[in-house]
Structure 1
């Protein structure tokens, strides 16, 4: 389970050091095998274990490609996916093209999302986080899927 957030540094080679508290969530059956891709909705990266990515990719591949929105989603997620590995020091090299897409500089934030982590440029994450609290939650119009959720 990927949850919580951590501020992390990006070194000159584009590597991020995964905090110890998150390393277990990124362990999979294939030792240190991870997949990083772009988000289809935000200027951030998505970091999956190889096992979790296989589930996502299988679902995407099974979708009909005649629908232009599905084609676009496949191009974004699968077309930008890159296999990466966590080294013995807990570092992951983020490909330069993906860092460029997400505008990730020297400081980043790792944000847990349950089945994956998002990786944001620190300044962009702070702006995104702050903007979430500017919009009031309309409890009367929550999606049906959230009706039974208590928080």
Structure 2
């Protein structure tokens, strides 16, 4: 974990983290990505998922995939996080990974998968969904 995040993670969650598979179109296990949540953010997500309809097939799939693959992990005093073998294997990760901050969570990418995906985004002319961003400006 980069130094700049360590103190904040110590303060917000006493270094307690949850890692799970990524479940959206840009970040799936086959593309080399996992999600890492500080415990309080994970608990918010769990509560949101808990409120989904029990008999809804998509909600059930989400619960099984996201919650079923979640593992507790703790950042050690040197900022290291041991990712479970099952999740490392699922995401095709080896020694080189990239940590990408995503507001309420982190994405952990296999380095080669991140580089390929980043280049794909740079080269893309797909503007699908841009209109849904409203009046966002930078």
- 2:136 aligned partner: 149
Q: Secondary structure at the match of 2:81?
A: strand
Q: Give the ranges of 4+ consecutive aligned residues of structure 1 lying more than 3 Å apart after TM superposition.
A: 27-30
- Once the two structures are superposed, residues 47-71 of structure 1 have per-residue CA deviations (whole angstroms, 9 ceiling, x without a partner) of 1100000000110111012111111
Please give the TM-score of this superposition, normalised by the length of structure 2.
0.88
- 1:36 aligned partner: 19
| Structure 2: gaps (5+ residues) | none
Equivalent in 19, 34, 38 of residue 2 of structure 2: 19
Distance 1:29 1:138, change over 3 A: closer
8 Å Cα contact 1:36-1:81 kept in structure 2? yes
Please give the TM-score of this superposition, normalised by the length of structure 1.
0.81
* Higher RCO (CA < 8 A, seq sep 6+): 1
Q: How many residues align?
A: 132
Q: Secondary structure at the match of 2:99?
A: strand
CA drift at 1:104: 0.7
TM-align CA RMSD: 1.6
- 2:101 aligned partner: 112
| Structure 1: gaps (5+ residues) | 1-17
For 1:143 and 1:73, the matched residues in 2 are separated by: 27
Distance 1:91 1:64, change over 3 A: same
